[in-house]
Amino acid sequence: MRWLPFQLNPDIPATGMPRREYIERKWGKNRGPEAYSRVAAIGKTVGIPFAFEAITVQPNTLEAHRLLTYAERHDRQNDVAEVLFKAYFIDIGARGGLDRDALQAYLASDEDRAEVSNADLGARSAGIGGVPFFVFNRRLGVSGAQDPDVLLEAMEQASKTSASASG
């Protein structure tokens, strides 16, 4: 698996914004708990104790995408992505197996910033408007959280399309 950059909210300032303000802008007053209740319920079924109410700052995710770009170079992208979904930034990279000092230097630089932003714009230009979004065999896209059977069917279809195109 390869994680590609896509920001749900690229307009959030680099330093983030108050979570309450973000929720109110996105869904209106008092809708935050309702908006996340389905995700929290699904998370419970797979052992993920989401605590959306504990989030005080809505981050801009450009740096997280840079972290995953860096981790990919070190064949640690999946490990770092897994840890990233449980916490944020420097400690995540180290817990995912990356060298802490090298990672800190990387995130303090502008390396890959333009590339990650361009990849995000490319995804938007291709019509991607949300996450998760899966691309199978660079041919077939599936949007949204789907049942495993739907994803398996898409993989099989993408594989057949690839085989007929090459033969």
Residues 7-29 have pLDDT tens digits of 888 899 999 999 889 988 888 88
119-134: pLDDT as tens digits: 989 988 988 888 888 8
Is omega for the bond preceding 132 within 30 degrees of 0, making it cis? yes
Residue 51 DSSP class: -
Q: How many helices (H) and strands (E) does the chain have?
A: 8, 4
79-128: pLDDT as tens digits: 998 888 776 556 677 778 888 889 889 888 999 999 999 998 998 898 88
Of 108, 115, 138, 114, residue with least CA distance to 126: 138
DSSP β-bridge partners for residue 58: 17
- Residue 163, pLDDT score: 67
Does residue 165 surpass a pLDDT of 70?
Answer: no
Q: What is the pTM of this model?
A: 0.57
d(CA 154, CA 137): 10
DSSP β-bridge partners for residue 142: 134
d(CA 154, CA 151): 5
What confidence category does residue 139 fall into, taking pLDDT thresholds of 50, 70 and 90?
confident
- Residue 89, pLDDT score: 55
